[in-house]
Amino acid sequence: MKPFLDVRDLTVHFPIRKGVLRRVVGAVRAVDGVSFAISKGETLGLVGESGCGKTTAGRSILRLVEPTGGSVHLDGIDLRSLSGRSLRSMRRRMQIVFQDPYGSLNPRLTVRSLLEEGLVIHRMGDAAARAERMRRALDRTGMPAAALDRYPHEFSGGQRQRIAIARALVLEPEFVVLDEPISALDVSIQAQVINLLADLRRDLGLTYLFISHDLSVVEYLSDRVAVMYLGRIVETATAGQLYATPLHPYTIALFSAVPTVDPAKRRSRIVLPGDVPSPARPPAGCRFHPRCPIAEAACREVDPPEVSLDGHRVHCHVAARELDACGGDERRASARMTSLVAATQNAGREGHRQP
Ligand code: SF4
């Protein structure tokens, strides 16, 4: 089946300029060859530490940040080839919900003006039809129609995010980028907004790219999950596969930090050494090698190719070898990878204890 969103080799490089003449002396490789596809009605979670490029990737798909390379097709339409009116009309079909409902809603505009702006730009109906659309969008997000004549500051954070979601919905989009939509909200409200997003997806058949650093929330909302590190995707799988059988050492380390009440799922915490390297000077070979507990000599030189098994894709030399050694049994390979990473970590701790 043809994917609804097809992203291939997407790159976003920001030039580094220096000197009086502002010469380009390098580039920050925020997104550096990212590929994934999303089917209609599906949710792909995009996870990784802050600064890994996930937000830039999401925004560049919508052309809010201009990509420097690669291709993006939505419903078969090449988004990078569009400009002017054709890009504007395509924008109606793809919307974004930003992280911060305090910053993303103009405090000087009423909710009516905020919601109506897009409808006017896209010439969607007369005043009466627009009012009806706005009321419907608010109703879908659990907000009363009376909110239309109030200002954003009159609402709580959760209500503001509902208004931001209504602003996206009022244009009847098919694809929505959710850029950390709950991370600025109180924990008590996060679950309500996540349930709302899940209901909207079911009722309206929406397709989501859900960007988050919160792995437990991503698992709940996503059908598949892609893990990003330093501008690249290192592992992709269904949410079930990834959470039960992570293969990449970075994914294993991320999951080890997720709190769980289930003792059977509890993993010993793996602390990665060092910081994420600068995307202006990504390491050669595997980009994760300076922090990888099980890096080998080859990892410093050779960029690991993608290995795919039943839709579970991973970029790691050792994971590829373990999968091979386990005859393609990803459960066993994941267990072996997890114990390899944990053993190296424990050995490191023991070493530190020695005088
Ligand atoms: Fe670690 Fe090497 Fe795998 Fe990269 S390729 S994640 S450095 S083991």
Integer Cα distance of 133 and 101 in angstroms? 21
Name, in order, each residue with C-beta under 8 angstroms of 214's C-beta and a sequence gap of 6 or more. 182, 183
Percent of the chain's residues with pLDDT above 70: 95
Cα separation of 308 and 74, whole Å? 24
Domain ranges of the chain: 5-222, 244-353
Q: In 3D, which of 305, 299, 294 has the Cα closest to residue 341?
A: 294
Dist CA 326 CA 10 (whole Å): 33
Whether 289 is in the pocket of ligand 1, judged by its Cβ within 6 Å, is: yes
pTM: 0.92
Ligand 1 centre distance from Cα of residue 250 (Å): 9
Does the domain formed by 5-222 have CATH 1.10.3720.10? no
Query: What pLDDT does 183 receive?
Result: 87
pLDDT < 50: residue spans in the chain: 351-355
Q: Using CB atoms within 10 A of its CB, is residue 37 exposed (0-12), middle (13-18) or buried (19+)? A: middle
> What are the pLDDT digits (tens) for 285-344?
999 999 999 999 999 999 999 999 989 999 999 999 999 999 999 999 999 999 999 888
Cβ(299) to ligand 1 under 6 A?
yes
- To test the pocket of ligand 1, the residue of 316, 321, 339 to mutate (highest count of ligand atoms within 8 Å of its CB) is 316
